[in-house]
Amino acid sequence: MVQKLSEKIYEDIRRGIINGTYKIDSRLPTERDLADIYGTNRPTIREAMTRLVGSGFAETRPQSGTYVKDFKAHCTLEMLAQIMLINRSVDPQTMQSILKFREVNETLTAELAASRITEDDLAFLKKNLIEKEKNLKFPQKLAELDYSFHYRIILVSNDTIIRLIFTSMKQVYIVFTGFFYSLKGAPEKSLALNRRFLEHLNRRDPVQSREAMRDILAHGEQRLHEFINLPRSESFK
């Protein structure tokens, strides 16, 4: 599919905002200047700028122009996923926040799931891990399978609030775990830990299921600390 020029312009400027080419609170080039830069007309530029404002990266000030918004202070989960992808990294504070949320909530849902899981649920999880084994060289696919695996556990736990929050952070989750699965040895170790967790679920053991989930998350935290300390050129190959 051919990308619309307005889409390309939007992505170029958004990338420039995220990587600091355009500083927070600075005025963006005028429509006329951008039209000259991209060799297009002002309606195309206006379409791109309207989307930039709508996505939360810029704001229009009457009779002044369009300025870079303090997007970090008003960041949504969707924006966070875009920032992580463009920077090919995640800042330590954000990483710790995500990991803490997962540790507190997913150990609980694992414990609850152990006493509520059905044969259909177990069949789904087993099939998921079979697919995971087939895709060990593909971080993006592994991240999607990982989300489905953990989301199924949350569904089984029947905790509505955790489910809603987990669903809302899907895009961030997949980007975040994509970083993890790009690390050498991470896919294989994750698969082994998931299989051990599934064994405890199969035995309907809530205590061991909780601890197995804790081991999964602890391993993820350890490897992600390695990821954020890699040089950017090596961090998302």
Does some domain include residue 104? yes
pLDDT number for residue 233: 38
Helix, strand, or coil here: 209? helix
Q: How far apart are CA 99 and CA 108, in angstroms?
A: 14
Burial class (CB in 10 A: 0-12, 13-18, 19+), 2: exposed
Q: Quote the tokens at residue 54.
A: 């709508």
Tokens of 217: 């998350």
Domains held by the chain: number: 2
Instruction: For residue 12, give its domain range.
Output: 5-68
Q: Report pLDDT for 85.
A: 76
pLDDT at position 236 is 35
Same domain, yes or no: 109 and 224: yes
Whether 29 and 107 share a structural domain: no
10: Cα separation from own chain's centroid = 21
CA distance 51 to 84: 19
Which ranges of the chain have pLDDT less than 50? Answer: 1, 231-237
pLDDT (0 to 100) of residue 75: 79
CA distance 191 to 173: 18
In a domain, 160, yes or no: yes
Residues 115 and 190 in one domain: yes
CB 224 within 8 A of CB 99: yes
